[in-house]
Structure 1
Amino acid sequence: MFAFFKQKKREQLREMLLPADWLEIIARNVPLYRRLPEPDRRELHGHVQVFLSEKHFEGCGGLEMTDEIRLTIAAQACLLLLHRETDYYKRLITILVYPRAYVAKGVESLGGGVVLEGSQARLGEAWTEGVVVLSWDDVLRGAADIRDGQNVVLHEFAHQLDQEDGLANGAPILERRSSYVAWARVLMDEYEQLREDETQQRRTVLDTYGATNPAEFFAVATECFFEKPTQLRKKHPALYAELKSYYRQDPEQLLAAAESPCLFPGQEVS
């Protein structure tokens, strides 16, 4: 019964229009939004309504929470949900936002059994216990440059998708059981290749932070998929195909459309 009423409420929220000033914030702060065709924008608006209704935002380190912060984060997080059945990051409860990079205790393996413990500056992190932590400065910076392959919101919310089954292993829940074999083969091959590229100090399309572990590889690949789609497809066609199938989106096509205004009359070009 609870699930029925929850679904009805979500349907009602998705039908609500976003206020004009909210739309202006999203269009200004999230250039990826400006690439979307109108049907995708409308779908995103509905997801944002649900996300804002169900998730709690909290400012940390003296940051005062505003609609701009909530909308800028929500719009990017919901970009990962387009065209798919979604439970809106079912494990996520709270988004903590710091004004800038924050310091947290961490443990880093240096190899050979050597472990470094201490404080580390972080831009964001995703906990399995229902929390995402973000730096507002870096949220804005990552959203503004849509060609550098680095977006902290996409990164941390990819982790949330990965962790929906309770494990952070680079394997999100897939629609069909038969898809896991190809997913594991392609992503593991690409992950091992990135590790080798990092060791050999080769230039890569993917950020070498993805060589840390399979979970970080999936998050880094997600950032690259949405922000550097053409480069990713050319250098890593199998990886691009797996991400395209999972996200049910083709960012390269959207990029081409955004650069050809005649395809979407009236659409703003980024």
Structure 2
Amino acid sequence: MAGPTRLEIMIDAASPVVAKLSPGRRARFTHLVDQFLQDVEFRGADGFDVTSRVRVTLATYACLLLLNRPRDRFDLGMRIVITESGPPSDAEMMGRYSRWGRMDLCWSSIMKDGVLSIPGCCKAMHELAHRLDNRNIFREGLPASHSAECHDTWRTDMDEELDFLRTRLANGFETPLTPQAATSQADFFNCTTTAYFEQPDMLRDNFRRVHDRLAHFYEDGR
């Protein structure tokens, strides 16, 4: 039996989530990452060296968002500009997004003390989820569903959980989910998505309906 490929080893290093997938889903995920690496342009700014590790790490977090969405993909030719820290100094390269699919990311926020930083990776996933949102894969902060009935159920569950979060924040109660999630429906979806992959127990304990909806969305009704 052949051992894991170099790409598979790098994917495992980027996210422990992948190791929990079934063999079939893992094979599909590896294909998604390989396709992302072919479709997306990575560019370093201010002297940053975009290594294979950088590319595979970002591709891994992007493709977690596509795992159970066979008809969806990021824009062909999307450009990800990466700096060591802070925004690019070149004015021509500024701006998180553009109509051509431009995104800026800071590697030092994704890495901390030489290891992957969960908050930094969550931030990268958050920005990538916004990129999908911009492509209208999501409507009104919700996934594009296969039926109106399914979409209505999503809307009810997500809206009620968002209202619950906003009420807690308005009354001064702490919440394990970042307050940014209360900003809009899209931000709520994006923040709960990152929590689903990196803090699933927290999300299940505090926002059970959201967790279950995301489990169905990403893992086909797990």
TM above 0.5, one fold? yes
If the length of structure 2 is used for normalisation, what is the TM-score? 0.81
Structure 1 or 2, whichever has the larger Rg, is 1
Match for residue 165 of structure 2?
A: 194
Identity, in percent, stands at 27
Match for residue 4 of structure 1?
A: none
Of 130, 141, 148, 2:101 maps to 130
- The correspondence of residues 196-235 of structure 1 with structure 2, limited to 5 A, is 196-235=167-206
Aligned partner of residue 142 in structure 2, secondary structure: coil
- The correspondence of residues 154-173 of structure 1 with structure 2, limited to 5 A, is 154-165=125-136, 169-173=140-144
Cα 1:247–1:197 change in 2 (3 A) is: same
* Equivalent residues of 2:46, 2:88 under 8 A apart: no
Q: Is residue 71 from structure 1 mapped to residue 43 from structure 2 by the alignment? A: no
Provide the rounded CA distance (Å) in 1 between the counterparts of 2:177 and 2:39. 33
If the length of structure 1 is used for normalisation, what is the TM-score? 0.68
Q: Is residue 151 from structure 1 mapped to residue 122 from structure 2 by the alignment? A: yes
* Equivalent residues of 1:187, 1:239 under 8 A apart: yes
Provide the rounded CA distance (Å) in 1 between the counterparts of 2:154 and 2:41. 33
* Equivalent residues of 2:10, 2:56 under 8 A apart: yes
Cα 1:235–1:83 change in 2 (3 A) is: same
* Equivalent residues of 2:40, 2:76 under 8 A apart: no
Provide the rounded CA distance (Å) in 2 between the counterparts of 1:209 and 1:145. 19
Deviations 1:165-192 (A, max 9, x none): 2888412322333222112222222222
Provide the rounded CA distance (Å) in 2 between the counterparts of 1:54 and 1:64. 19
Cα 1:92–1:214 change in 2 (3 A) is: farther
Matched to 1:223, the amino acid is T
Cα deviation for residue 145 of structure 1 reads 5.2
Q: Considering Cα pairs closer than 8 Å and 6+ residues apart, tell me whether 1 or 2 has the greater RCO.
A: 1
* Structure 1: gaps of 5 or more residues: 1-16, 105-123, 254-270
Matched to 2:149, the amino acid is S
* Equivalent residues of 1:31, 1:144 under 8 A apart: no
Cα deviation for residue 39 of structure 1 reads 2.4
Matched to 1:32, the amino acid is V
